[in-house]
A and B are shown apart, each in its own frame.
Chain A
Amino acid sequence: MSDKVSPPGPREAVATGEPLLVAESLTKHFPVRGGFPVRRTVGAVQAVDGIDLTVRAGESFGLVGESGCGKSTTGRLLTRLLEPSAGRILYRGRDITHASRKQFAPVRSEIQMIFQDPYASLNPRQTVGRIVSGPMEINGIEPPGGREARVQELLETVGLNPEHYNRFPHEFSGGQRQRIGVARALALEPKVVVADEPVSALDVSIQAQVVNLLQRLQRELGIAFLFIAHDLAVVRHVSHRVAVMYLGRIVEVGTRDDIYGRPRHPYTHALLSAVPVLGDGASPRERIRLTGDVPSPIAPPSGCRFRTRCWKARDRCAVEAPPLARADGSAEGHLSACHFPEPPATADSGGAVRPGGRSGTAGQPGRG
């Protein structure tokens, strides 16, 4: 694998740390239709309900939460695959919330996506060369040296043999397919890449390779990543900042160390305590067991959405939705949405979640 990475394009540079992609009270409600004989909207799945987040230039932003909490919907909203119901999306200060395909075209190439399932995200009838050169063709990009040379360079960047140009996706393994997906996302030299669970469909030993590839690209090309995952260890390994989602809302956001070392929201505590740890067995950690299921997003609980499963819930939680704000004792930029935040420490003071906690190998620095 080559470590040489071509420099980003000559488009206007962004200063590291500048807010790149901003969501303001972004909301997506999917209508639920029913009734007979006249079908009408009888409710809505509140998949994403008013979230605020900022992805800064050059940073890796992790978004974690359990299945069905709206992580993927958020990613699809930010890449404009879904039309938001309310709220705003800003890209470098430009409102792109309801931009049509033509209006959006100038910045389209700067926001790209890596998909979860490498078996579904590559067209089985196209060769690798056509898959990776497709984005350039669509946007009329003529790289110096021709598209084929550029595709081969990209294949090399993601650790594939450039001679595989004419092969079909089914001739590759899952990990190699995901690398093709990464090469396609890089073809337009994006500034932000939304990675929607890019490793969760892969074998654990392959996960490490792909995660390290993404991390290397992020460092060397200065691409900002929105890293959506449910694997806490992977997110900890790659992210600078982390947001935790629960039932369509962000419950806590902060730097990686804040979230993993000094979480304030009870849900974050519960999540972190669920990660198994390799230890001596002498001091068993206290595992927070949440009771019941995640409530239905069609009829979410009033007030704080976590209150139905929270051991600290009081009357106030049912009436008043807690704002995402800085709690007493939290660091600057560490926000949590709880009326009664936990003390800033994990049950066994910090060491609860190590990279690779899930399997012991996932986060270990493997082949780069």
Chain B
Amino acid sequence: MWRRFKRDRPGVLSAYVVTFFFLVALAAPLISKLYGKNPTQTYGLDEPGLLNEYGYPVKPNGGMSGSFWFGLEPTLGRDVLMQLVYGIRTSLLIAAAATVLCVLTGVLIGVTAGYLGGRTDYLLGRFIDLLLAFPSQLSFIAFTPVVYSLFVSPEKETPTYLRVVTLILVLWVLGWMGLARLLRGQVLSLREREFVEAAKVTGASPWRIISKELLPNLWTPILVQSTLMLPSFVTIEAGLSFIGVGIVEPTPDWGRMFANGAHYYESDITYIFFPGFAMIVFVVAFNLLGDSVRDAFDPRTGR
């Protein structure tokens, strides 16, 4: 399987790109140290001559220069590169954690419902329907403050880690149903195939049938769904931060950079360019990687 994947050029390339993003997120403090700046310091306000009287960078292209590679943030004058690196770190952490939880829950519940069938299937199916009936975007907005108040009294400041955990929880609770329902259907059709009966005739345990006979046939939907899920969580998280129920200042956030960038794009297009370009590259690379991994898993595709 590894050999088949390595032969797939776009797949390998996008794997490098995706790995690069995760490395950047992981190594953010290291980058900060090497680059010599941090994401929260307001360089533009501290040093005169970087921002003009309206709060925009003086130098062309959003203030790009040898010391501020991606330019300066309008108004506050923070370093865009560091904002982006730490923003990617926050967003990817939330999206990756939520994706892992959703995939695990989806696989567990979907395969259980499909394999056991009968009453279990019926109850789990109705529960999935119930959760799917929630308008997710509205629910995110409505429930996130509720979950915050469960942990912290409204008067106090919510710690950042709690905001992150809350966002992961909210994304998880309303994110796993699609995969679970898809896998339930797949298992339902696979379970009646003769190779499952053949395994039963040789005395295989239900656990072995699920893990050795069914799961290898489910990798395709699982991978496709999770590679769609992760970028969509990144965008949902961005949306929540945009509205103000997600990550708040001063914690850097990828999504909030768009929100800010949308304010300034008429006067300072550079500020939205780098986060936007990074997001497009990331999402495209991630989807291409998902396709290639699926092809590598499926022995029937001709590679």
Contact = CB atoms under 8 A, between A and B. Distances in A.
Contacts of A115: 194, 197-198
B291 interface: no
Given A123-B217, A125-B217, A125-B299, A112 B202 contact: yes
B263 interface: no
B5 to A, nearest CB: 15
A37 to B, nearest CB: 14
Nearest to A196: B194
Contact of B195 (A104, A109, A123): A123
A331 to B, nearest CB: 35
B194 A116 contact: yes
Interface string A116-134: 1100111111100000001
B201 A112 contact: yes
Contacts of A168: 299-300
A120 B216 contact: no
Contacts of A121: 193-195, 197-198
A40 to B, nearest CB: 15
Nearest to B216: A125
Contacts of B299: 124-125, 168, 170
Contacts of B104: none
A125 B203 CA distance: 20
A326 interface: no
Interface size band for A: 20 to 34
B188 to A, nearest CB: 15
B200 A117 contact: no
A170 B217 CA distance: 14
B213 interface: yes
B196 to A, nearest CB: 8
A111 B201 CA distance: 8
Interface in B13-48: none
A14 interface: no
Interface residues of B, number: 22
Contact of B194 (A104, A120, A125): A120
Interface in A163-196: 168, 170, 181, 184, 187-188
B201 A126 contact: no
A187 B202 CA distance: 10
Contacts of A134: 199, 202, 204, 212
A108 interface: yes
Interface in A328-348: none
B194 A117 contact: yes
B213 A81 contact: no
B7 interface: no
Contacts of B200: 81
B208 interface: yes
Instruction: Select the residue from B194, B201, B204 with max chain A CB neighbours within 10 A.
Output: B201
Given A121-B195, A122-B195, A170-B300, A81 B201 contact: yes
A105 interface: yes
B153 interface: no
Contacts of A79: 201
B202 A188 contact: yes
Contacts of B219: 125
A120 B195 contact: yes
Given A168-B299, A170-B299, A109 B198 contact: no
Contacts of A101: 203, 205
Contacts of A138: 199, 202-205, 208
Contacts of A188: 202
A108 B203 CA distance: 6
Contacts of B300: 124, 168, 170
A99 to B, nearest CB: 12
Nearest to B203: A108
Interface in A74-122: 76, 79, 81, 101, 104-105, 108-109, 111-113, 115-117, 120-122
A135 B199 CA distance: 7
A296 interface: no
Contacts of B297: 125
A113 B204 contact: no
Interface in A146-175: 168, 170
A6 interface: no
Interface string B54-75: 0000000000000000000000
A81 B200 CA distance: 7
Contact of A126 (B194, B205, B208, B216): B216
7 contacts: A108-B202, A113-B198, A120-B195, A124-B299, A125-B216, A138-B202, A188-B202
Interface of A: 76, 79, 81, 101, 104-105, 108-109, 111-113, 115-117, 120-126, 134-135, 138-139, 168, 170, 181, 184, 187-188
- In order of increasing CB-CB distance, the 10 nearest A-B pairs are A135-B202, A121-B194, A125-B216, A108-B203, A168-B299, A120-B194, A123-B195, A115-B194, A113-B201, A120-B193
